[in-house]
Structure 1
Amino acid sequence: MSTTPPNLSQPLLHEPIQESPAAPLDALGPYEHLIGTWVNQPLANSQQGGIDAPFSYNVMPLPQVGSASPQGYILKNFKYFEEITFSAIHGNAPNRGGLGTQIANTVFYEQRVYFADGPDRDQLVHAENGSWLYLTTRPQHEGPYGDTPLPGSTAPNQSAASHIVKQISVPHGNSILAYGDYDEGTPVVIPAAVVLPVGVDTTPYRTQSVGNPSVDLTANPNLPLQQALELRTPTHVIRWQVNSQHPGAGVINIPFEQAKADVTDYHATYWLQSFSDPADPDPQYTQLQYTQSILMNLNVGGKIVSFPHVTCNTLTKVDD
C-alpha cells in the first residue's frame, strides 16, 4: 500500500482567537520569535533542505535478539522531515509562593516527524507535544484576582541557569522535564555528536545496511547542520540549551519502557537564526536548527548498556 504524503500546509495548533487580553509575546523571551509553523523547505534558492533532501538525521538503536542481530540490538537510522507549530497562550501560569510569584510565560508546541527516505517514506515515525516555559518572577499580588502587590512581597530569585524549561510528552509513554538557559550573539558552533555506546559490539554502526544507510552520517549525525550552514551564514543567533540533569528535572517512563528501553537523560541545543542585515535592530528569525540526544538503557545479553539516540534538523519558518 502506498503512503499518502502528509499535508504540511496547515499549522498543527490553532490557538483560540481572543483580542483581549492578547498573547503576551513581549514576555516570552527568545520564544517570541518561534510563534508560527516550521517545516523542512529548500534553503537559499537551492534544491536542498526540503522534504526530498532535508538537512536532518536520526540515529536510533532498537533492542532485538535472534540470529539476525547477534549484537542484541539493531539500528533504524534515517533522514526525516517534520512540522512543528508553536503557539502562545493568551496569558501565563503564575506559581504563587506566598510572598512572591514565579511566572511561567508559556508557548505550546505540536510536532510531527516523517521518514524522508527508505521503505516507509512519508509515514509518521514520531509525534510529540509539550510546552516551552520562560520563567520570570514578580512580587505576589494581593487577593485571588488583584494586581496590587501584597505588602511585604518581593520578587523571588530566579536562576539564569534554569529559566528556560521544556516539558515533553511522547506517546511511547515518556515524559521529560528539562531546564537550561539561553544567550544571544554567539556564533553557531555545531558539536560532533556522541553516538557510540560503550561496552558492546558497535559493528552495526560502521556497516552499511537497511537500518544504517549512511555510515558517514551515523559517525556524526550533526553533520547535516554544518552542511546547511555552508549554504548561508546567519547574521543573528539566539541559542538555548536544556537538559534533564538539573535539580528538579528528570524523565519518567511507563513500566514497559523502563524494562526494555529506559530513557534516562535528555539534552538539546537549539539555534534560532536570522539572515537580516547585521545592523538590523529588529531581525526576523527564519531558520531553526537543533540537535538532541536521548540516552536509552537497553538490555544487551543480560547487561544494561546506555545507547545515545541522536536527532538533528534544520527548519525554516512558514510565511504567515
Structure 2
Amino acid sequence: MLTRFRPGPSLQEQVEQLGLLADLSGRWSGRGFNLISLPDFDSTPPSTGPKPFRVLLSATHETLELEPIGAHVPNRGSESQAAPTTGQPDITLFGLRYLQRINDVDSHEPLHIENGFWLNVPSSAIPKEDPSIVRQGSIPHGSSILAQGKAFESQDGKPKFATLDSTPQRNPAGAALSSNYLEPLTTATLPARITNKDAVKNPNVVLADAIQPFIEHMTATTVLSISSKTAGGVLNIPFLQNTTNNNAAATAIEATFWIETVQPDKGHPFQLLQYSQIVTLNFLGIDWPHISVATLFRQ
C-alpha cells in the first residue's frame, strides 16, 4: 500500500521556511581550537596513564556541510483532553541535515565526526511555546544530543564573544579542587598554530583573533544560541552513563554560532561561520569543560 507524501517545497519556500537558519546552508571549511580533559587510567597509547586525567589541546581543521532536508516534516497535533472541541493543529518543521568532521591540523588525526539536523520549529499553543531552533546530533562515542534555543540578528551587525571559563568544577559540589586538577590546564603547551597565551583560560580569544582583519567590515551577523540545559538533553550508552560508573560521560552541551557577512572595501561580500561550544564531561566527580571553537569560510 502506497503512502501519499506532500510534494517537496520549492527552493524559495525552503529558504522562507528555514528562517534565520537559511544562511547556514552550504559547505564551510576552516580552522579552530579544541580543549579537552580526558580520563587517563589506561596506559595504552594514545592514553598515557595510569593517572587520573590528561589535558589535550589541538589546533583543528574542520569541514561542515549542511543542506536542506528537502521535504515538509509534519509534527502531529492532537485534540485537547481538557477541552475536546479544541486542540493543537499540526505544525510543519523545516531544517538542514549536517555532517561535521574535525581533524588535528598538523597530524591529520581524526578528532570528531557528527551528523544530525538543525530544525526551525514554529510556535505552538499546546504546549505554549515560542518559535525556536533545534540541533540534534549523533556522535559515534555512543552519545546523542538535542539542544534548543533561539536565532536572532546581532543589533550592531557584529558578534559578541562571552568569556569562556575552562576551569573544572566538582560535581556533586564538595571541597574545592586541589592544584593537581587545576595546574595542568595552566601549564599545558599550546599548539604552535595557537599563538594567544590566553587561549586555554578563555578559548573565545581564538575567535576574536581570527576575525580581526574583517571585523570593521562586518555588516550583519545572525546568532544561533542553543543549550541542552533549557530543553533537550544528552543520551549515552551504558559505558558512558556516570550514574553507574566513573567513565567520561557527556552530560550537557551549550553552543553559539555566528553567521557573519563581510563587505570589503573592494570586491564581493562573503560570509564567515564561527562557533563556540562547551560539552560538559563528568568523571572523577568533576565537570570538565570540553571547549571547541572554530572560524569557517563558505566554500
Partner of 2:81: none
Deviation, 1:255, is 1.1
Question: Aligned partners of 1:211, 1:228: CA distance in 2, in Å?
Answer: 16
Residue 109 of structure 1 aligns with an amino acid whose one-letter code is Y
Alignment pair present for 1:228 and 2:210: yes
Question: Aligned partners of 1:164, 1:236: CA distance in 2, in Å?
Answer: 19
Q: CA RMSD in A?
A: 2.8
Partner of 1:50: none
Partner of 1:308: 289
Correspondences of 1:10-21 after superposition (within 5 Å): 21=9
**Aligned residues of 1:75 and 1:211 also touching (Cα < 8 A):** no
Report SS of the residue matched to 1:59. Answer: strand
Report SS of the residue matched to 2:122. Answer: strand
- Where structure 1 has 5 or more consecutive residues not aligned to the other structure, the ranges are 1-18, 41-53, 139-153
**Count, aligned residues:** 257
TM-score, normalising length: structure 2: 0.78
Deviation, 1:205, is 0.6
Deviation, 1:284, is 6.1
Alignment pair present for 1:32 and 2:22: yes
Question: Aligned partners of 1:132, 1:175: CA distance in 2, in Å?
Answer: 14
Deviation, 1:266, is 0.4
2:150 to 148, 173, 181: 181
Partner of 1:4: none
Alignment pair present for 1:289 and 2:274: yes
Deviation, 1:57, is 0.9
The one-character-per-residue Cα deviations of 1:48-82 (angstroms, maximum 9, x if unpaired) are xxxxxx3x211111101389768611011111011
Deviation, 1:193, is 1.1
Deviation, 1:289, is 0.4
Deviation, 1:22, is 2.7
Partner of 1:22: 10
2:235 to 246, 252, 258: 252
The one-character-per-residue Cα deviations of 1:197-241 (angstroms, maximum 9, x if unpaired) are 132521111113489996632122111100012111121011110
**Aligned residues of 1:78 and 1:212 also touching (Cα < 8 A):** no
Deviation, 1:179, is 0.5
Deviation, 1:275, is 1.2
Partner of 2:53: 73
Residue 63 of structure 1 aligns with an amino acid whose one-letter code is P
Partner of 2:92: 103
Correspondences of 1:1-320 after superposition (within 5 Å): 21-23=9-11, 24-40=14-30, 54=31, 56-65=32-41, 72-98=52-78, 99-117=88-106, 121-136=107-122, 157-160=128-131, 163-186=132-155, 187-198=158-169, 199-200=177-178, 201-209=181-189, 216-233=198-215, 234-247=218-231, 249-258=232-241, 259=245, 260-276=247-263, 286-299=271-284, 304-318=285-299
- Between stretches 207-216 and 91-100, larger displacement belongs to 207-216
* Amino-acid identity (%): 28
Classify 1:100/1:298 alpha carbon distance in 2 versus 1 (closer, same or farther; 3 Å).
same
As a proportion of its length, which structure holds more strand? 2
Deviation, 1:106, is 1.3
Question: Aligned partners of 1:103, 1:206: CA distance in 2, in Å?
Answer: 48
Partner of 2:174: none
Question: Aligned partners of 1:28, 1:114: CA distance in 2, in Å?
Answer: 29
Report SS of the residue matched to 1:244. Answer: strand
Classify 1:63/1:106 alpha carbon distance in 2 versus 1 (closer, same or farther; 3 Å).
same
**Aligned residues of 2:9 and 2:72 also touching (Cα < 8 A):** no
Partner of 1:47: none
Classify 1:212/1:22 alpha carbon distance in 2 versus 1 (closer, same or farther; 3 Å).
same
- Between stretches 199-208 and 238-247, larger displacement belongs to 199-208
Question: Aligned partners of 2:127, 2:187: CA distance in 1, in Å?
Answer: 54
Classify 1:77/1:212 alpha carbon distance in 2 versus 1 (closer, same or farther; 3 Å).
farther
Deviation, 1:92, is 2.1
Question: Aligned partners of 2:221, 2:55: CA distance in 1, in Å?
Answer: 34
